Amino acid sequence: MRSSLAARRPALTPSGADPSIATGARLGSDGDDAAAAPDGRPLYLPVTLPGERAQPGPSSLDIHKLGGASVSIQPRVVVVTGAARGMGQAQCVELASRGYHVCAADCLPVEDTVQSVRNAGGSASGHDLDVGLEASWQALIECGLHQFGRPYGLVNNAGINDRASIAAETMEGWSRVLAVNLTGPFLGIRVLAPVLRSVGGGAIVNIASSSALTGYRGAAYTASKWGLRGLGKTAAAEFAPWGIRVNTINPGLIDTPMGQGDPAFIASHLRRVPMARAGNAREVSAVVAFLLSDEASYVTGADLSVDGGFISSGNFWRIVADSDAFA
Ligand SMILES: NC(=O)c1ccc[n+]([C@@H]2O[C@H](COP(=O)([O-])OP(=O)(O)OC[C@H]3O[C@@H](n4cnc5c(N)ncnc54)[C@H](O)[C@@H]3O)[C@@H](O)[C@H]2O)c1
């Protein structure tokens, strides 16, 4: 039974992308008050692609005709962190396809993401952001989100992984993971919420993990994602009077650079996924888009698993496989 079960489950297709995980190398206790990154780069960097003028923001949605009168309808502006690749990149493309202007923010270059959005006819701007630095968030806000439309949302997607056990984890590793995965969203929410309040509200989506629902491999990562879930619930309560909804998505194994790794670990994980496959980034993006949208107008403080059934019933298959219960 065990072998036939395993045969049903396809291996995660390697994307060929660099499997290394961004380390948030510019993080550090000495950087929090800096006006510029340690390497001297400005903390806010709108991306202008070669041969292009700086993009002033969206144009296609600006003017709509209503009863013969011309009125300006600004697109909603959403900041997506960790936008250089993986799920963040997919979210930018998805949200732009739905008419949002996306502020693609990352500590890695985001030109590919901005180009992908524009190639698809969408609107995007690129921003250099290290989520763990408060000054970096301030610089993002000071660039003037209003120039792109009506500030509306934030997707706290940036994250780094660290599979070290408690015994093996270093203080440096622990601090780095917590700074990116937990302090980063805290800073983003704290900086963005007053901006959203000033224009009548908005929506925030945090990308946590299945690791936020169970004990899992990687003490710092698991702790950071449990913390992010808790932060989201408190934020939902605090900001409901401001018209801001805050929700959390808990992805399972998703085929991105972070989702790559030890084949045996991945194969074992997939044997616990009832849908018998990894997810793809677009399947998460669609849920992000729903939670940001007015379709979710009464949804706040919620958690939504996007994991092929891993958390809800992954143990079912494990028990079946280990006991031949269906033999
Ligand atoms: N891939 C998975 O299987 C999986 C599963 C559950 C949850 N998640 C979570 O989903 C989110 C996206 O993951 P992914 O799979 O796309 O990962 P990824 O490694 O492909 O992309 C993460 C992005 O975050 C950016 N980033 C890292 N540190 C940053 C910092 N200090 N400031 C700004 N940006 C920073 C990276 O540069 C990168 O572009 C993460 O929060 C991750 O923890 C991923």
The stretch 98-111 carries a mean pLDDT of 98
State yes or no: pLDDT of 35 exceeds 70: no
Residue 159 has pLDDT above 80, yes or no: yes
How many angstroms separate the CA atoms of 159 and 185, rounded? Answer: 10
State whether the beta carbon of 140 lies less than 6 angstroms from ligand 1: no
Answer with the residue of higher pLDDT: 80 or 321: 80
Tokens standing for residue 196: 């959203």
Report pLDDT for 62: 36
* 251 Cβ inside 6 Å of ligand 1: yes
pLDDT over 70, % of the chain: 77
What DSSP string runs through 249-303?
EEE-SBSSTTT---HHHHHHHHTT-TT-S-B-HHHHHHHHHHHHSGGGTT--S-E
pLDDT at 121 over 60: yes
Number of folded domains that form the chain: 1
The rounded mean pLDDT for the chain is 83
Catalytic member of 44, 100, 152, 221: 221
Q: Does residue 20 lie in a domain region?
A: no
Residue 146 sits in a domain whose CATH number is: 3.40.50.720
| Ligand 1 close to Cβ of residue 285 (< 6 A) | no
CB 157 within 8 A of CB 119: no
Which residues of the chain form beta strands (DSSP E)?
63-66, 69-72, 76-81, 101-106, 123-128, 150-156, 202-207, 244-251, 303-306
Ligand 1 centre and the CA of 92: distance in Å?
14
For the residues 293-321, what does the mean pLDDT come to? 93
End-to-end Cα separation, the chain, in angstroms: 7
* 92 Cβ inside 6 Å of ligand 1: no
- In the structure encoding, which two tokens stand for residue 308, read together? 């092929």
Does the Cβ of 213 fall within 6 Å of ligand 1?
A: no
Closest CA to 148 of 102, 185, 82: 102
155 C-alpha vs ligand 1 centroid, how far in Å? 12
Q: How far is CA 98 from the centre of its chain?
A: 17
Determine, yes or no, domain membership for 164. Answer: yes
User: Can you tell me which atom of ligand 1 is nearest the CA of 254?
Assistant: 3
Please indicate, yes or no, if residue 31 is contained in any of the structural domains.
Answer: no
Instruction: Kindly report whether the global pTM for this prediction surpasses the value 0.95.
Output: no
Does 302 reside within a domain? yes
pLDDT at 34 over 70: no
**Residue 6 falls inside a structural domain:** no
Q: Separation of 159 CA from ligand 1 center, angstroms?
A: 4
User: SS3 for 126?
Assistant: strand
Cβ neighbours for 283, distance < 8 A, ≥ 6 positions apart:
254, 306
- Residue 59 confidence (pLDDT) above 60: no
Check residue 322 and give its pLDDT: 82
Instruction: Determine, yes or no, domain membership for 100.
Output: yes
Residue 52 domain-assigned? no
133 domain residue, yes or no = yes
Per-residue pLDDT for 161 more than 60?
A: yes
Give the lowest-confidence range in 67-71, 242-246, 278-282: 67-71
DSSP state of 20: P
Q: CB within 8 A of 107, min separation 6: which ones?
A: 22, 24, 25, 26, 128, 129, 130, 131, 158
> pLDDT class for 71, splitting at 50, 70, 90?
low
Residue 271 to residue 253: CA distance in whole angstroms: 12
How do the residues of the chain divide into helix, strand and coil, expressed in percent and rounded to 5? 40, 15, 40
Report whether residue 288 contacts ligand 1, using a CB cutoff of 6 Å.
no
- Domain with 86 in it: 76-313
Residues 210/258, Cβ–Cβ less than 8 Å: no
Give the model's pLDDT for residue 17.
28
Banded pLDDT at 45 (limits 50, 70, 90): very low
- pLDDT, one tens digit per residue, over 223-241 is 999 999 999 999 999 999 9
What is the structure's pLDDT at 130? 98
**Residues whose CB falls within 8 Å of the CB of residue 73, separated by 6 or more in sequence, listed in order:** 61, 62, 63, 64
Ligand 1 atom 23: the closest Cα is on which residue?
82
221 part of the active site: yes
CA distance 228 to 215: 15
